[in-house]
Structure 1
Amino acid sequence: MDRLNRYLHSRNCTTLIFIIAAVMTYAAFRSGHVDEITGSRGTVFPSPNRWLPQGELSLVISLVLTALTAISFIGLNKVFNFMRAPSALTSSLYIVMLTSLPVAAGQFYGGSLMCVVMLGITATMFSCYGDMSATRRVFLIFFILSLASLVQYAFMFYIPVAILGLAQMRILNFRSVLATVIGIICPVWILYGFGVMELSDIGWPQFESVFSRLSVPDMITVFAAVGITMILGFAAMCANLMKILSYNAKFRAYNGFLTLLLISTMIFMIVDYGNLSVYFPMLCLTAAYQVAHYYSIRRPRGAVWVLIGIIAVYVALYSACYYV
């Protein structure tokens, strides 16, 4: 049993799960179960789902970004050790959760891009801990978020989250606030200066609801996947709180920011439910971390069967797309 438990936390397991997930996603794509995510524009430019026609190229790029997210999270934990254990379970669970909805895993769109961008933001944020002179990195964080929000407005909501992150990293002062403001303004300023856009182009995009092309049974599957992921993430987060409070200040800050990302993502999904699919990959990543963190630091008896049960639930959700 211990051997199986160690395997579930290993990178080999993550690799195997990704290969299986890629095959499952491709099968869903070939069977016509990857409904196109529709949308018009970001705050200025076309949203990522408009960059490519729906097809195999979009599928391949989505799978590449999924793999990149999984690898990046393993690397992030290796560098900052915020999980307090060398486990790849987060990446494995992320892939399992995401694959449960072929509509989210089987095409390139804003949600695919969000996880990669937010992991880059998180890595930069963590590198700033306690460094009051890190104004260039603070500028970079908000420059990226502002630039990304021009093509997918959901990134805009993470700007206040990142500002709270500055406080958690103990670098919130006048210089960092100034770097934040300049970083937010700079992308618009540069693009306007080069004549790429006009100020009148900025506006709230008219996104078509993700549910507009889904049948009622498909919507039930989507809500089931989102609901189960939220419950798992929130329950694990609550179970981890006391343990996190026993960490030193740096690791409390790291885990506090990851917890903030989970809570804010859940709030955004509830408020902006029409654009729910964009937040789903981020929900999967942050919820997967909370669950993996719990089982990595506590390793309770019967954990293997619970983890296998979680995987089975998401496989069942994936299977539902063929029968509903």
Structure 2
Amino acid sequence: MNVREITITKLIKSRPFALLLMIAAAVAAFASSLIASDARPLISAHMELLQFHQLSQSATVGLCMALNAVVIVVMSLINGQFNLLRTTSWLFLAMWMMSQLGTPDAMTHAVTGLCATLCMLACIWICVSIYQQPGQTKRVFLLFFIITCLGCCNYAYLAYLPVFLAGLVQMRAVSLRSLLAAGVGIVVPVWLLWAFSVVDFTTVAAPQFDITTMAIIKANPTTSIAMAFTVVTGLIMMSANLVKVYGYNAMTRAHNGLLLLVWLVTAILCVFGFGNLWATLPLLNCTTAFQTGMFFRIYTRQRAYLPVIIMITVYTALYILTLWI
């Protein structure tokens, strides 16, 4: 790289630049919420056991902006404690906010998705913390308890149960006791709902999955483009990262393997369940941001700044297009 490219790379890697992007994205998304007149439902319809009331427009925006900030803090803490990305750069945090900005409603109205993103980050935190510690049955119980509770709020999250079972294998934390703890963690939330008569299981309706069709895509052009772009860029970066991560130590491979599985399942849920997108898109953005941070760290000397600039430009353009439409 020449001197100019090195300067650009250092700028993108710097914390002030990342902080500026995060603030700009938050302000822009908040401004778009002032223009919007409708509020998204708290929970996607026909995909839950538990019913929640819809929040007002102002309460939804305020809660979502706070949740976005908390997600930033949790992502930073996870990376700081476990060195997942092998870097102290805040770029991945900035890319989380920029990907959210590409679909402003995901930042200001997707309460379900943001709450689920926080819970899934907690699950990732728990899972990576038990590397080679199969005796940590309490953490295993908590891990699967959280996922099952999410599944009661939205059936799509039940897809992460096998993901984290595979995660236990990756973390070398599988034992008879840990498997029993996982089973109890899955059963207890459902048993509590039945025991306290919170849910009448005899009247529970089957989930209604809205398979993505061209009609749905045409009705939601900017959201469809944003999701497709995030999936494609995430897939490219995940594939590029996988080639290099394979040569790292066992713990790093296990940690990044878990992130890879979570991203993969989330991408599938987004692509094939467009009607439930507000519950899964924030998590897709979050896991793609992790992949972007890892990509930039690995390929810094190979013009990794170019994909980052392209992503920032595309998400900004999608934001402007959303306001225009």
Q: TM-score, normalised by structure 2?
A: 0.90
Q: Deviations over 1:29-54 (max 9, x none)?
A: 121276635733543211xxx44424
Give 1:301 deviation, angstroms.
Answer: 4.5
d(CA) in 2 for partners of 1:170, 1:10: 35
Matches within 5 A, 1:54-93: 54-93=56-95
C-alpha contact 2:39 2:56 (8 A) present in aligned 1: no
SS in 2 for 1:310: helix
Aligned 8 A contact 2:38 2:57 in 1: no
Matching residue's letter, 1:251:
T
The 8 Å contact of residues 129 and 169 in structure 1, kept in 2 or not, is answered as yes
Contact 1:17 1:96 in 2 (8 A): yes
- CA deviation map 1:54-92 (0-9, x unaligned): 411111111111111112111101100121111211111
Q: How many angstroms does 1:201 deviate by? A: 4.8
Aligned to 2:26: 22
Q: Which residue matches 1:144?
A: 146
Q: 1:140 to 1:33 in 2, by over 3 A?
A: same
8 A Cα contact 1:43 1:202, kept in partner = no
3-state SS of paired residue (2:48): coil
Give the conservation status (yes or no) of the 8 Å contact 1:168–1:256.
yes
Pairs within 5 Å for 1:203-282 = 203-206=205-208, 216=218, 219-282=220-283
Look up the match of 1:286. 287
Question: What is the rounded CA distance, in whole Å, between the counterparts of 1:53 and 1:125 in structure 2?
Answer: 32
What are the superposed Cα offsets for residues 283-315 of structure 1, whole Å, 9 maximum, x if unpaired? Answer: 111112112211112203543344222201110
2:30–2:108 CA contact under 8 A, matched in 1: yes
| Of 197, 215, 227, the match for 1:195 | 197
Could you tell me whether the CA contact under 8 Å between 2:237 and 2:292 is conserved in 1?
Answer: yes
Shift of residue 185 of structure 1? 0.5
Which secondary structure state, in structure 2, belongs to the residue aligned with residue 199 of structure 1? coil
Give the letter aligned to residue 158 of structure 1.
Y
C-alpha RMSD of matched pairs (Å):
2.4
Are the counterparts in 1 of residues 110 and 278 from structure 2 also a CA contact under 8 Å?
no
Q: Is contact 1:69–1:116 with CA below 8 Å preserved after alignment?
A: yes
CA contact (8 A) 1:39 1:207 kept: no
Stretches of structure 2 lacking an aligned partner (at least 5 in a row):
none
Q: Secondary structure at the match of 2:23?
A: helix
Aligned equivalents of 1:288, 1:57: Cα separation in 2: 27
CA contact (8 A) 1:33 1:321 kept: no
Compared CA separation, residues 69 and 5, structure 1 to 2 (3 A): same
* C-alpha separation in 1, matches of 2:53 and 2:89: 35
Letter in 1 for 2:126: T
**2:311 aligned partner:** 310
Residues 59 and 107, structure 1, Cα contact 8 Å, conserved in 2 = yes
Number of equivalences: 319
Report the Cα distance in structure 2 between the residues aligned to 1:306 and 1:55, rounded to whole angstroms.
35
Equivalent pair of 1:61/1:108 in contact (CA under 8 Å): no
CA distance in 2, matches of 1:215, 1:240: 30
